[in-house]
Chain A
Amino acid sequence: MKKEYLTFTPDIKNLKENQEVKLTVKDLTPGPRKYDARIVKAILSSDSKRLPEGDVLHVRSWTGMRYPQTWAIKILKELEETEAGTPHGETINAQK
């Protein structure tokens, strides 16, 4: 049974296929821990046939709209629970 994950992206064109990428995914396994976030290193494909060992990745836009097509994801490694960075970093950069 394939696991299902969810990720958010400002633009689906930003999702790189067939190479190692770092991204945040939400675990959609039913139960009280559903939507748990992980930061992972993974390989993605927009076509599950090209990544048959991959799990299912649902993709939503930065405003939460769902892209109709699911992707495939093969998680290579779970990274640290959180990332280095400054709170409100995007806003601080945008104001420079």
Chain B
Amino acid sequence: MTYRRFVITKTISYAVALVATVSILYVGIYPSLQHVITNQATVQTQQFIQSLAKNAHGSLTQAEIQREGAAYKANFLSAFGFSQPLPVKFALQLYHLFTFQFGTSYFTLAPNGSNLVSSVIAAYLPNTILLFTTGTILVVLAGSVIGLLAARYAGGKLDRSIPFIAVFHSSLPTWWVGFLFIAYFAYSVNLFPSGGIISVPPPSGVIPQFGDFLYHLTLPLAAFFVVNVGGFAYVIRSLVVSTMSEDFVLTARARGIAENRILFSHVLRTVSPSIATQAVLAVAGSLGGAITVEVVFRWPGVGLLTYDSILANDLPIIIATTFVLTIVLLVGLYIGELLYGVLDPRIKSG
């Protein structure tokens, strides 16, 4: 199998998986989705009737306006497949989801004042992806290095303490760690800001602004890192230790190759596809923690947006964030899979 063929197969498989996953999501949110669409239809029709009455300047009777309004509403609902067979309704509503036509939010506005759900999410999503990917990259890098070193000095202090660190850290709720960090680092010793993404008012100049942004990023990132790094290092250590007993490592040792070189070039190359798989699983597992850490730090990402929307009962936003996060997760898994293909020599060389 060439890498090209691998990519094509995987792309098709993931595309079909996307439709299947979203279908499951659709079934789960079906009642709320119909509720939201009906609400939107009512609101839009109300607006339509008002503007019609205003622009008609008395040339239309009340009954005519009402009739036009009813027609408008029926038209709106039929665009979402109401009064049509279920498969058509499903296809139409899925089409609206996939084209990011989520309608308007009940309360929440985007920073530019728009009440379109898609613009609200477009404003919040980059912050989540930024926090989440930075955190994951840090965890994967540091976790791999720690895991490799633990395996290198198997039985040593680091090696023996890693399982316990993994135990302890992976049972911590990320948002709670964030909470404690705020209590200590922000309110007790005043070292870091308690939340937000940038100071109010923001400093002038690009470089000070970037610095201020990093300053705000530190605590949420640290909370994410602390919770996830231990478990990841433990997994990597187990992978490496089991590889260290393989024949090719013995051969390399017999040839007199230095232990560090064996570890960082031979063993690492062998386990790197598995690391990619583990990283993908870690991404899937830590998404929940990442979006809740946003809540405690008031980091303006989709996690905070979801929390605020739950408080405000802003159903369109909740449905849309769920949908968007599903896509983000699937894209993350897809990238991981492609990376696996690059790293696994059996696939790459064909």
Question: Do A and B actually bind?
Answer: no
Which residues of B come within 8 Å of A, CB atoms? none
Which residues of A come within 8 Å of B, CB atoms? none
